[in-house]
Amino acid sequence: MTPRKKDLLILSGLLAVLLILFSKILFTTQIIRAPDILNEFYWGIKDFGNRPFWSIFRVDLSSAGWNPFINSGHTNEGGMASEQFLFFRNLVFWIFPAPANVAWYIVLQLFIGAAGVYCFCRLLGVGVWGALVGGLVFAIAPENASLINAGHVMKIATITFAPWAFYFLEKGFRTKRLFYFLTTAFVLAYQFFHTHWQIAYYTCLAVGVYGIARSLLVVYGDHGGQKEFRRLLALNLALLFFFLTTVAMSLVPLTNWSKETNRGVNSGANVTASAGQTEAKGGLAREEAMSWSMPPEEAAAFIIPGFFGFSRQEAGPNPANIESYYWGRMNFTQTLSYMGLLPWLLLPLPLIFRRDRYTWLALSAVVVGILFSMGKYTPFYNLLFDYFPGINRFRVPKMIMFIPVLGLGVLSAFGLDLLLDPAVRSRREFKHYVAGVILLPVLLMVLAVVELATGNFWVNHFIDILARPTRYEAQSQQLVLQRWHNIITETWIAAGLSTLFAVVFFLYYRGKLAAKALPFVLIGLFLLDTGRVNAKFLFLVDEPHREATAKAPEIAYVKGAGIEYRTLPLGGDPMPYAAAGVPVMFTSNAVQQRRWQEYLDNFNLISGMPDILNVKYLVLTKDQLEQDKAGLSAKYRPVYTTPAGLVVLENPTVLPKAWLAPVALQVEKPEEMLAALQSPQFNPRTMALVETPPPIAVARDPKWNAPADAAGQARVTRYEGERIDVDAVVKLNSMLVLGEKYYRGWKATVDGKAAEIYPVDHVLRGIYLTPGSHKVEFVFDPTPFKVGKYLTLVSFAIFALFLGREVWLRKTEGEAKSGKA
């Protein structure tokens, strides 16, 4: 059998193993129980199977995209348009029936990542069994696999491209060929297109460090000299440049979009003082950015997976196979830090018997990645946060843990390869290694006995930590006992599992277990180990039905107002409303536009703030209404009650989508404007709060007393996501105010001539108009998206040429070899 056929056979077996391990979520009519899937992701892919086949390959780059239904208007400025190139994703959703198609996509992506690790290990000279173990570690280590329960579908997909980036980069360093460096750039760009930018950023960091290290090793370790240095420098610069142009469709608009977000350069979240001056660096505030830093003590979960409990308990109660919910120092966790016991047992082997550059690089990925994931608990991350570009734009340092998993997978591959080497088994160091493997279960048993014998001491000593409540569990004595019992149980399980591994290693060392059988036994134990843990994160529920949601009486009622008015569900999920075609005022997004976040932070239901945003309805429960009735009754009136007890309140003072304000008052400071918006003296129908002096003469008397239509009338004649037309009959110099967010990507014309859009009332957009009849057109057409789009398309064309050339060269070489034969 040729090496290629053997690799294909092993990869087929790897796929079969994953299909068996995850069969519970694949071969079912149910769906993964995760809020992110149930409330959001699933609705976007549910109907793929009903589309014509060729439609899943259709790409439309004519629009940057503005969604009027969520968050009072939402956009990524075209940064998400690259998702249209995810043809494999579309094909999976088209082939497999909903709702299991979500799980199929996740598992197939995990296979792609595992195959990348396998090929990378094979490139480094590892045998098929070692490479198989490396791939399995990456795909089914609970640190990665437990993301399934978190519902982070695109995060998993993004992670799985990381091994392929390292594979092609290593090919580039070995061959010194431009094609492989360009392919690395293309893989990184395509990874970015999968929309989880934090994972893509961390991958680029890791690839950058790997590239620098490999370049230095070639130049100095292999004595490459100046000529080799210049060549590698040119290849790495080509990689960087080609990555930036290929990813431009997403990166250029997102970079522009992020400037005005609560993590952008203008957010002021990080402020430094120097010589009496303050400088806003932007990004997240330190404490928020370092949320979900992995506490150092949770490294114990590398060996004892349930030491700090399991699961995150969202979307329903924990199943019976979970005794204790996560109770560590993070707010909550969506994953488990466990990576399986086998990788840690194999890790010492390459450190003892294979101390080459790849061992140290893989070990660095493990150590540095874990230190990075500890975030605020290490000076290392704090220095990066202060001085390295981009770090302070993201929270959840623990999200980098896929890099240690990748490094551990490579070290595991090295370890099993060495384990199967007869020359290694004959060395004295191997005897000491086996003794260390046997010592682990002894230590764990001693720990378990100590926990049993001195439990009262430890419980009393750590009572504050053990009794700490969570979002789902109140503080109680029962909670303490539950957690302590779980620690003891998990310690015994870890001791028992490590004993099985120790017996296998001892029998192999003594010659009682054949080398041919060893990989099967170790892989079997690894699957048993990780399978037990992963089973605690594979929850299923019945498929949700949009039809039932759309027919919900409260949604059907508010939908009658039309798309020019918004609804604000209080205490409920707004996404079912948006999915049914009802614009909602607010949806929870990790990153918000700065102006909008400030508006939300100061939002007052009793002021004119809901009026200017066209919020016509509030939806709340009878209990909520009873609790807030005294405050709400002054402004809102109940108009409908559902059989389930939900009450719809109407806002009689809501403003239309467009109106003319004859008074413009300049308020420069945001805090003063936000305070003015909440004032009872603020009359939004006649008064516009602006940030710069008006370019035309308008009234500035805050006590303007004329009728509402004294300035004239405005009527919306066209209202679409990226196009709004307004006809205005103006009697006085006025500000045409639109109940839509101000955003730089919008452009306007008045009677066919370009007009400037001004921020009004902190979050809205407006245009100054003079007396007369005017036709005003608003179009969402951001320039960064167009620039990025053309850069990406040119890069695609260049890569296609290089790919075609590569195919032609291989075909020519194959024909030449055949001729010689």
Strands of 642-722, DSSP E:
646-650, 658-661, 663-666, 687-690, 712-720
CA distance 531 to 535: 6
Taking the CA atoms of residue 144, residue 145, residue 150 and residue 156 in that order, the dihedral angle to the nearest 10 degrees is: 60
- DSSP secondary structure string for all residues of 546-570: HHHHHT-HHHHHHHTT-TTSEEEES
Contact assessment for residue 253 and residue 64, using Cβ atoms and an 8 Å cutoff: yes
**Long-range contact pairs involving 145-148 (C-beta distance under 8 Å, separation at least 24):** 145/110, 145/530, 145/534, 145/537, 146/334, 146/335, 146/336, 146/533, 146/534, 146/537, 147/334, 147/335, 148/22, 148/25, 148/32, 148/34, 148/103, 148/106, 148/537, 148/538
Q: Per the structure block, which two tokens stand in for 608?
A: 């004119």
Q: How many CB atoms lie within 10 A of CB 188?
A: 26
Q: Residue 218: how many CB atoms within 10 A of its CB?
A: 19
Chain-centre distance of CA 741, in angstroms? 25
Distance CA 87, CA 90 (A): 5
Domain boundaries, the chain: 546-592+615-650, 658-781
- Indicate the DSSP class of residue 726: E
Which residues contact residue 320 at a Cβ distance below 8 angstroms, ignoring those fewer than 6 apart? none
The H or E element containing residue 618 is strand 615-621
Asked if residue 190 lies in contact with residue 112, where contact means CB atoms within 8 angstroms, the answer is no
What pLDDT shows up at residue 272?
47
Contact 239, 185 (CB under 8 A): yes
Mean pLDDT by 10 residues, the chain (821 residues): 90 97 95 86 85 92 92 93 94 94 96 98 96 97 91 94 98 95 97 94 96 91 82 95 96 90 64 46 80 93 93 70 87 87 97 95 97 94 92 92 97 97 93 96 96 89 86 80 93 97 96 94 97 91 72 90 94 84 89 91 94 96 89 92 93 96 92 93 92 92 74 94 95 95 95 96 96 97 95 96 92 72 56
Report residue 692: phi and psi, to 5°.
-130, 160
Is beta strand 637-641 parallel, antiparallel or unpaired with respect to 658-661?
unpaired
Length of the chain as a residue count: 821
- Per-position b or e across 369-401, b if 16+ CB within 10 A of its CB: bbbbbbbbbbeebeebbeeeeebbbbbbbbbbb
Contact 29, 543 (CB under 8 A): yes
| 3-class secondary structure, 660 | strand
* Residue 48 identity (one-letter amino acid): F
Q: Give the span between the Cα atoms of 185 and 792, in whole angstroms.
A: 12
If phi over 0 gives left and psi between -120 and 50 gives alpha, with beta otherwise, what is residue 727?
beta
Extract the tokens encoding 126. Answer: 């590892």
Q: How far apart are CA 674 and CA 539, in angstroms?
A: 45
Rounded Cα–Cα distance for residues 663 and 659 (Å): 12
253's CB contacts (< 8 A; 6+ apart) are 64, 76, 77, 78, 79, 782, 784, 785, 788
663: nearest Cα among 676, 672, 651? 676
SS3 at position 665: strand
Radius of gyration of the chain (CA): 30
The runs of H, that is alpha helices, within 153-196 are 153-159, 162-175, 178-192
CA distance 710 to 768: 16
pLDDT at 323: 86
Place of tokens 């990788």: 343
484: Cα separation from own chain's centroid: 33
How high is the pLDDT of residue 322? 86
Which residue in the block uniquely carries the two structure tokens 């306007």?
A: 748
Closest CA to 558 of 576, 542, 571: 576
Q: How many CB atoms lie within 10 A of CB 268?
A: 16
Residue 277, pLDDT score = 45
Indicate left, alpha or beta for 454 from its phi (over 0: left) and psi (-120 to 50: alpha).
alpha
* Three-state SS letters, 245-295: HHCHHHHHHHHHHHCCECCCCCCCCCEEEECCEEEECCCCCHHHHCCCCCC
Question: Cα dihedral angle (11, 15, 16, 20), rounded to 10 degrees?
Answer: 150
Amino acid of residue 173: F
At residue 273, the pLDDT reads 43
DSSP string over 488-508: HHHHHHHHHHHHHHHHHHHHH
Phi, psi of 737 (to 5 degrees): -105, 135
